[in-house]
A = this chain, B = another copy of it.
Amino acid sequence: MSGSVGIVKTEYVTFDTELQLESGRLLGPITLAYESYGELNAERSNAILVCHAWTGDAHAAGRHTPQDRKPGWWDDMIGPGKVLDTERFFVLVSNVIGSCHGSTGPTSVNPRTGKPYNLTFPVLMVRDMVRAQKLLVDHLKIPSLLTVIGGSMGAMQSLEWGILYPEMVRSIVPIAGTGRTSPMAIALNSLARQAIFNDPMWKKGNYKPEHPPADGLALARAVGHISFLSDASMHLKFGRRFSVRDGLFDFFGQFEVERYLVYNGQNFVDRFDTNSFLYLAKALDLYDVAWNFDGLDDALSRLACPSLWFAFTSDWLYPPTQTEEVVRALERLGKPFAYHLIDSDYGHDSFLVEPEKFTPFVVAFLDRISKGI
């Protein structure tokens, strides 16, 4: 059976280096927040890198204190006897650069000015996040990764790992990802951006942390929530139920779905920084695995390891057709891969809501990879 990794702690490491970004700009020094679960074996060959999504962080499993109401964001997956079995694997998770949960991002102090970067922070690509993670993996003296796994923006990172560091990566597991974000995904992020830009509290990114553009960020988050759900999951969760507190003909009366979006948007303000949200949205928009290569096939031709792909039928943010575009290219190139289209009603969030639908494939895959088959 499966258990918890117990009480865990976020660690921090600072690299006194300057990373050359895809934009040509330099970023440094770079601090990364990370957590790890399980032990490296003597051969240092059992490390799994978990990559988080847009608003995720390094805290993927266990609790920071016994009083924590919730465990880490992928606690279902990580622990003794679980899919990413910490009795067998060393599981590493780091917060991406650009984020606000301990790694260098727009809220960090720019050492050259002594002030927070805010909008002087450079625009990042997912590839830059992966280059920063590489510093951490090297720092921990991990010569190769058994797998790099993640959902959504985590899927993008796992693919980038396979392409940038083929000599280090023994497999990748991109879940609910895409080879490049679509204009629909960009359009949705555009709504989120405008919601924040419209908020006078945003002050072109120079708000005080204690006075964030709360209304704008809450609305931006609501846009995200809609794109993570699906028509079917909204029917299941809310239907057309009207809030019992409101009158149907009140101008400000809300259906349950609206109440949910507003409430969760407001909660989000307490746990995420607005500029980080914007920088990560930008990185998502810019994501194209073919960037700086001669097209998709040229990019994927660098991949040297087996890959395991999952897409979800009701995901309309990164619909299955986008993963299929990538795996068709892998097929053309004769690369080893497996692809599973998972039937789920929970939209993009399916990978978090119904892990049991795809994890058996992950377990079998990791077993095979760890035995070197």
Q: Are B195 and A123 in contact (CB under 8 A)?
A: no
A305 CB–B CB distance under 8 Å:
no
Contact flags A226-270 to B (C-beta < 8 A → 1, else 0): 100111001101111000000011110111111001100100000
A23 CB–B CB distance under 8 Å:
yes
> Measured between alpha carbons, how far is A183 from B257 in the docked complex, in Å?
6
Given contacts A123-B249, A248-B286, A250-B123, whether A226 and B258 have CB atoms under 8 Å apart is: no
A181 nearest CB neighbor, chain B only: B240
**What is the total number of copies of this protein in its complex?**
2
- Interface segment among A88-96, A157-165, A214-222: the answer is A214-222
Q: Are B191 and A238 in contact (CB under 8 A)?
A: no
CB contacts (< 8 Å) of A184 on chain B: these are 226, 229-231, 234
A63 CB–B CB distance under 8 Å:
no
A187 CB–B CB distance under 8 Å:
yes
**Residue from B123, B231, B286 in contact with A182 in the complex, judged by beta carbons closer than 8 Å:** B231
A319 nearest CB neighbor, chain B only: B231
Q: Are A180 and B249 in contact (CB under 8 A)?
A: no
Q: Are A239 and B282 in contact (CB under 8 A)?
A: no
Q: How far is the CB of A252 from chain B (nearest CB, A)?
A: 9
> Measured between alpha carbons, how far is A193 from B218 in the docked complex, in Å?
13
Q: Are A183 and B240 in contact (CB under 8 A)?
A: yes
> Measured between alpha carbons, how far is A45 from B160 in the docked complex, in Å?
68
CB contacts (< 8 Å) of A191 on chain B: these are 191, 219, 222-223, 226, 261
CB contacts (< 8 Å) of A345 on chain B: these are none
CB contacts (< 8 Å) of A182 on chain B: these are 231, 234-235, 240
A119 CB–B CB distance under 8 Å:
yes
A242 nearest CB neighbor, chain B only: B286
CB contacts (< 8 Å) of A285 on chain B: these are 255
A194 CB–B CB distance under 8 Å:
yes
Q: How far is the CB of A64 from chain B (nearest CB, A)?
A: 33
A190 CB–B CB distance under 8 Å:
yes
> Measured between alpha carbons, how far is A248 from B262 in the docked complex, in Å?
32
Extra inter-chain contacts (16) besides given A23-B249, A183-B231, A184-B231, CB under 8 Å: A25-B249, A123-B249, A123-B250, A182-B235, A182-B240, A186-B240, A187-B226, A190-B255, A191-B223, A191-B226, A194-B215, A194-B222, A195-B198, A198-B199, A198-B219, A316-B316
